[in-house]
Amino acid sequence: MQPVVSVQNLTKTYASGFRALKGIDLDIRRGEIFALLGPNGAGKTTLISIICGIVNATSGTVLADGHDIVREFRAARSKIGLVPQELSTDAFESVWATVRFSRGLFGKAPDDAYLEQVLRDLSLWDKRDSKILALSGGMKRRVLIAKALSHEPTILFLDEPTAGVDVELRHDMWQMVHRLRERGVTIILTTHYIEEAEEMADRIGVINKGELVLVEDKAELMRKLGKKQLVLTLQEPLGSLPVALRGLPLELSPDGTALTYTYDVQGERTGIATLLRQLADHGVDFKDLHSSESSLEEIFVSLVRTAREEAA
Ligand SMILES: Nc1ncnc2c1ncn2[C@@H]1O[C@H](COP(=O)(O)OP(=O)(O)OP(=O)(O)O)[C@@H](O)[C@H]1O
């Protein structure tokens, strides 16, 4: 099946000379929920802003539902809904007027029944006559989503949808995303949160320093992320790892006082019992032991490293 969004060799260098995107190739499958994950400044917003026609690319091409986003801008844009991070709408208008106006901008014939359904799905129907100005932050976020859906897009971008929102809105948002997917809408969201990607996405792309370092099915990625570490603080510093222990996923800290053992949480055996036995056999005593899960940062570092090694 043809991808619904096709990004080829996309680069962006800002006027400052900063290279925000360094040759991105990415195909989004029709009907999937795709999460773009990356640390601050990785290039997520730049990438989706280019696809949505808000920022010009320096080079490369993007097709949205088969339309070139530059040569066939209107056709491409009409397929796309964008929920930005911040609200930039006329604060003095009512919710209803805002969504009707948004729909009109895309040249769509009025369809009040459709818009009513969108507002009801977002628990905004009761607020339809309220001025945006008078709404709470969470309600304003809902208006952003309603606006993005007003012209019945087939591709919906959500930029950091749940950053700073309360539990109820987060829950509603996730439900809405699943409902839209059932209707065949493709959803692309950016996030800092592994949990959010884990909860929602079919596939995950990791972007770092303007490069797409990995695109993978969620299940596969979660398997890779499922690493835990056991840190042992030693009684006596070690000059080096005993030879017999070198085959294990063990790392000695530079000062020789701690050993870090990395294991796969989803593996059948953690190997910890064997590790402890072998340490005892080789006279390595420890005074403290604690376990930790890999932090998002460590995951990124390890993913970047893996991607580089595979490319080499
Ligand atoms: N107009 C601009 N001029 C110069 N540099 C910019 C401009 N817009 C963004 N950048 C830089 O490009 C890089 C990528 O920014 P972008 O907003 O795409 O990142 P992001 O992954 O969305 O980050 P965040 O999660 O913080 O929103 C950042 O280092 C940012 O400072």
pLDDT digits (tens, 9 = 90+) for 199-212: 788 998 988 889 99
* Ligand 1 center to 39 CA (angstroms): 11
Task: Using the atom order of ligand 1, give the atom closest to the CA of residue 38.
Answer: 21
- Going by the DSSP 8-state scheme, the letter that residue 94 receives in this structure is B
Give the Cβ contact number of residue 190 at 10 Å: 26
Of all protein residues, the one whose alpha carbon is nearest to atom 31 of ligand 1 is: 41
What b-and-e string marks burial along 240-257, b requiring 16 or more CB atoms within 10 Å of the CB? ebeeebeebebebeeeeb
Query: pLDDT tens, 46-97?
Result: 999 999 999 999 999 999 999 999 999 999 999 999 998 876 666 789 999 9
Q: What is the ipTM for the molecules in this complex?
A: 0.94
Query: pLDDT tens, 12-41?
Result: 999 999 999 999 999 999 999 999 988 778
45 CB less than 6 Å from ligand 1? yes
Q: Work out the angle between the directed axes of helices 167-182 and 137-149 (0-180°, nearest 10).
A: 10
191 CB less than 6 Å from ligand 1? no
Query: pLDDT tens, 295-308?
Result: 555 555 666 566 55
pTM of the model: 0.76
Beta partners for residue 290, in sequence order: 231
